[in-house]
């Protein structure tokens, strides 16, 4: 079972987003090269200065064909569920493969690599593209670099390639997901002993801002304009976080931070909420920083593309999901769906796993798509 073999090898790379993914990218670049792919590397340094590498491969003549997208980074695994094996020691128990990234989403990459091995690549009449990105878990940073700088990605767009983002969907066709927007408002004060008048409590300017964020939260829950029944939950999940970084009750807080993260559905004007929040922050004297803006993904479920993929998978009804993917910044591709092995319920968990059957089924399905679009 080559999908399992590849996935086990990939899980062994500890590619938490705050470290470099150069080693796994080098490995995958080598695997694609051995399969006959021409590869392009899109390298960059993340905001902390850590080197990151995206790999984009192409096999087959011309343009069009199929474009597969996956990410190589994973979330932290500090609270792993067992001491018998670590999160980066892939372990099979029964019909499950345990390990950080096994489901999200190195299992998908393993299935794709195994699918390629099922194909007589000499028979390709159209290209197969494989794009492997960094930093999906921290705001699609790698995919942003690919969208801006990759010559092969521009070729995919020009050729109207059929795109698949391989995130875990239990191999169900997902035609739409919500966007992901985040911002931070910061209030600055001056630390001093609270018994004196020497300090300036940063929370005093933050409190009215928080009140307005709560107002937006309540409005979004009540206003039908911010609800979309095609998703569960239907709202935008206006999530408010606060932190004044104060470790003593008798010190005035020198800094107070509010973060807001929300998920607009396709067609909703997320920028209106961003600009409203920005103006409130300015009125309160706070610093406002936009942390990220990933667009919703939407392809008409009645389109020929969605019907075609649904027919190939045997799933008659395409679905929506509330999580985001690299598809949020790859929107220049008109035909782009989410379709991959594993369940999102296992992603980011303390005991992350994927069913072995899903790996094998994913490999067979990806091979079927390659033959349909590229041979």
Each residue of 38-92: pLDDT tens digit? 999 999 999 999 999 999 999 999 999 999 999 999 999 999 999 999 999 999 9
Taking the C-alpha atoms of residue 179 and residue 281, their distance in angstroms, rounded to an integer, is 23
What pLDDT digit, counting tens, does each position of 264-284 carry? 999 999 999 999 999 999 999
DSSP letter (8 states) at residue 123: G
Domains of the chain, CATH where assigned: 2-177+296-374 (3.40.630.10), 180-294 (3.30.70.360)
Residues in the chain with pLDDT values less than 70? none
Sheet containing 180-188: which strands, arranged edge to edge? 239-243, 255-262, 180-188, 287-294
Residue 283 has phi, psi (to 5 degrees) of -65, -30
Q: What is the pTM for the complete model shown?
A: 0.94
Taking the C-alpha atoms of residue 24 and residue 6, their distance in angstroms, rounded to an integer, is 12
Confidence at residue 247, expressed as pLDDT on a 0 to 100 scale: 87
Tell me which H or E stretch contains 353.
strand 353-355
Torsion of CA 136, 141, 142, 147, to 10 degrees: 120
Taking the C-alpha atoms of residue 232 and residue 227, their distance in angstroms, rounded to an integer, is 10
- Contact status, residue 345 vs residue 183, Cβ threshold 8 Å: no
Comparing C-alpha atoms, which of 174, 173, 171 is closest to residue 341? 171
């Amino acid at each position: 079972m080559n999908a399992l073999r590849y996935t086990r090898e990939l899980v062994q790379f500890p590619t938490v987003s705050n470290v470099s993914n150069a080693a796994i990218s080098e490995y995958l670049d080598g695997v694609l090269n051995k399969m006959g792919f021409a590869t392009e590397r899109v390298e960059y340094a993340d905001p902390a200065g850590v080197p990151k590498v995206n790999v984009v491969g192409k096999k087959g003549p011309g343009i069009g064909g199929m474009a597969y997208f996956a990410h190589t980074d994973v979330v932290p695994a500090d609270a792993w569920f067992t001491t018998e094996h670590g999160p980066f020691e892939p372990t099979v128990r029964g019909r499950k493969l345990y390990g950080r990234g096994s489901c999200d989403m190195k299992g998908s990459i393993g299935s794709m690599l195994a699918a390629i091995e099922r194909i007589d690549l000499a028979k390709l009449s159209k290209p197969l593209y494989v794009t492997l990105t960094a930093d999906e878990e921290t705001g699609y940073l790698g995919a942003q670099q690919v969208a801006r700088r990759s010559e092969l990605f521009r070729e995919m767009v020009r050729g109207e390639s059929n795109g698949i983002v391989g995130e875990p969907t239990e191999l169900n066709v997902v035609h739409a997901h919500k966007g992901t927007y985040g911002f931070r408002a910061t209030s600055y004060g001056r630390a001093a002993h609270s018994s004196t008048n020497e300090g300036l409590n940063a929370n005093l300017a933050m409190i009215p801002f928080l009140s307005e964020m709560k107002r937006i939260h309540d409005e979004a829950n009540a206003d039908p304009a911010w609800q979309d029944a095609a998703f569960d939950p239907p709202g935008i999940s206006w999530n408010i976080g606060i932190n004044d970084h104060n470790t003593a009750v008798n010190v005035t807080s020198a800094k107070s931070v509010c973060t807001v993260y929300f998920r607009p559905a396709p067609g909703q004007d997320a920028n209106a909420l961003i600009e409203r929040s920005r103006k409130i922050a300015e009125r309160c004297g706070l610093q406002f920083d936009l942390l990220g803006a990933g667009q919703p993904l939407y392809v008409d479920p009645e389109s020929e593309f969605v019907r075609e993929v649904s027919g190939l998978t045997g799933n008659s009804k395409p679905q929506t999901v509330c999580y985001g993917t690299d598809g949020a910044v790859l929107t220049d591709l008109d035909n782009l769906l989410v379709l991959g092995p594993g369940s999102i319920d296992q992603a980011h968990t303390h005991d992350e796993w994927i069913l072995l059957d899903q790996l094998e089924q994913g490999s067979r399905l990806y091979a079927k798509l390659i033959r349909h679009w590229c041979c």
